[in-house]
Amino acid sequence: MDNELMTRLDAVERRLLAHSQAITPDGLTEPDDGGTERWEAGQVWAHIGEFVPYWHGQLRAVVGNYSGTPVPFGRMRTDPVRVGTIEENRNEPIAEHMAATNASLSGLRSYVATLTLRDWAAVGQHPVRGPISADKILETFVVDHLEEHADQLDGLR
């Protein structure tokens, strides 16, 4: 596994911890690139809290089921479970979201440490992005995604 990727994961976790300990800002985020969603801080945190375990599970499924043919994985932004979970949890205390995120990232790190070069060669088939390798799943859907949302929280300060 790429040490740079794990260094980035550690750095974004520290950024999120700092945000979780600050006063919750008002206002709405700027939308993600190519997106239209604008969220308040609680929605960002609810999303972070739900997507880390979701993508961990998707990575496990791709690695566990790969046998030479890309494994279908992923979801769309409009996924009703994603949208419903964000709405349902948007008013939960940020400290709880951060604690859950820490726990999820700890589990993800433990899992990643067990993966072999063969495991990293597994390929998933995303409905929008097409074929994507296991290492790129981790980078794109967890690390990049956390950095994007930490940037959104930066913008709310």
pLDDT of residue 71: 98
DSSP-derived secondary structure for 107-152 = HHHHHHHH--HHHHT-EEEETTTEEEEHHHHHIIIIIIHHHHHHHH
First to last CA, the chain: 34
- Token pair of 78, please? 């409009």
Closest CA to 82 of 58, 106, 103: 58
Mean pLDDT along residues 122-132: 97
pLDDT in tens, 40-71: 999 999 999 999 999 999 999 999 999 999 99
- Token pair of 19, please? 């945000």
Three-state DSSP at 4 gives helix
For all residues of the chain together, what is the average pLDDT? 94
pLDDT of residue 127: 95
* Predicted TM-score (pTM) of this structure: 0.94
Range in 29-38, 78-87, 123-132, 144-153 the model is least confident about: 29-38
* Distance (Å, whole) CA 25 – CA 39: 12
DSSP-derived secondary structure for 74-95 = ---TT-HHHHHHHHHHTTS-HH
Mean pLDDT along residues 142-152: 96
* Distance (Å, whole) CA 5 – CA 147: 12
- Cβ distance 58 to 66 under 8 Å? no
